[in-house]
Amino acid sequence: MKKYSVWGLMVLCTAFWAGNYIFGKYVTATLSPVWISLIRWAIASCLLVPIAYFTEKPSREAIRSHLLPLAAMGVLGIVMYTYFVYAALRFTSSTNAALVNSITPATIVLFARIFLKEKATGIQVTGILVSLLGVLIVLTGGNPIAAFSAHYNQGDLIMLFAVIVWSAYSIIGKHMHHVPPITMTAVSAVIGTLILLPFALIEGADFSQVNTLALVGMAYISFFPSVLAFIFWNIGVKVIGPSRAGIFLNLMPVFTAIISWALGNKITAAQIGGGLLVILGVTFTTGLIGRKTQLQK
């Protein structure tokens, strides 16, 4: 797959995940994080398994030989990350969650440096800093200094754990050379669903409070952020590496603002200006502007 096509997939990936923050906020009002995670990945697994089987025709031997890292991806990316995000949204706003999530690219670069021995070039670091500044402008209404004096509640701290977990998930995915991306997502989703099931049954649930908006939200997060976004992400990690893929996560607050506008909210000048900086930072990091970015191993 061509690099430019992968960049397009990464943009769609972050757009779908931005919607997850908005719709996930609605769903957490009626269901617990454990049940949201279980329903989301149970539905996604039913879609991913046949898609992987008929399109990639995966080797059973390849799956068996990579079962341990696939299980680790299921625990990290399916169980822990999903749970932490929805748990965070019960205590903090979508805006604050996105702000904390904006440090993910830097965390992935750090993890890649430690575990994969990758070195970030100067232009990549510049891109990260520019896009992070754009994120801060979007989320602080044009006053990025306010981010350092903001009050961070329990939800913000939970999001920090989500960032760390996702970074580890991405690093593991980089090493899955012999497992196709859809198959990798499908197997980890099935493993994650099986792990979540007993916890959900023990917890129990009251479905009488689930309304139409929550059902629409569950339908969205079960397909777009779960099936399509995870497939696109794993393709991106395989092709361009976790460090470059991670920088696209800074587009998430921009797409969150766009979705909010589509739902009737106004977009401010700070959001527009910050969004342009995010796009500029992503452009620098991927090498579209300036010299071509290379990660030296």
Window from 59-68, 189-198, 212-221, 287-296 with minimum mean pLDDT = 287-296
Q: What are residue 296's phi and psi, to 5 degrees?
A: -85, 120
pLDDT for the residue 295: 37
Domain that holds residue 260: 3-286
Whether 242 is covered by a domain: the verdict is yes
Whether 235 is covered by a domain: the verdict is yes
Instruction: Tell me how crowded residue 190 is: count the other CB atoms within 10 A of its CB.
Output: 20
Whether 24 is covered by a domain: the verdict is yes
Whether 291 is covered by a domain: the verdict is no
pLDDT for the residue 152: 57
pLDDT for the residue 296: 37
Whether 71 is covered by a domain: the verdict is yes
Mean pLDDT in residue range 258-264: 79
3-state SS assignment for residue 296: strand
Q: Which tens digit of pLDDT belongs to each residue from 134-184?
A: 777 876 777 777 666 656 568 878 988 998 999 899 888 877 778 888 899
Among all chains, which residue has been given the structure tokens 């890292």? Answer: 69
Q: Which tens digit of pLDDT belongs to each residue from 22-39?
A: 888 889 888 999 999 999
The burial of 256, by beta-carbon neighbours within 10 Å (0-12 exposed, 13-18 middle, 19 or more buried), is given as buried
174 or 62, greater pLDDT: 62
- pTM for this structure? 0.78
- Residue 110 is encoded by which pair of tokens? 């750090």
Instruction: Tell me how crowded residue 118 is: count the other CB atoms within 10 A of its CB.
Output: 21
Whether 293 is covered by a domain: the verdict is no
Q: Angle 60-61-67 (CA atoms, 0-180°, nearest 5)?
A: 85
pLDDT for the residue 38: 95
pLDDT for the residue 297: 35
Whether 294 is covered by a domain: the verdict is no
Q: How many domains in the chain? A: 1
Instruction: Tell me how crowded residue 138 is: count the other CB atoms within 10 A of its CB.
Output: 31
Whether 297 is covered by a domain: the verdict is no
215 or 153, greater pLDDT: 215
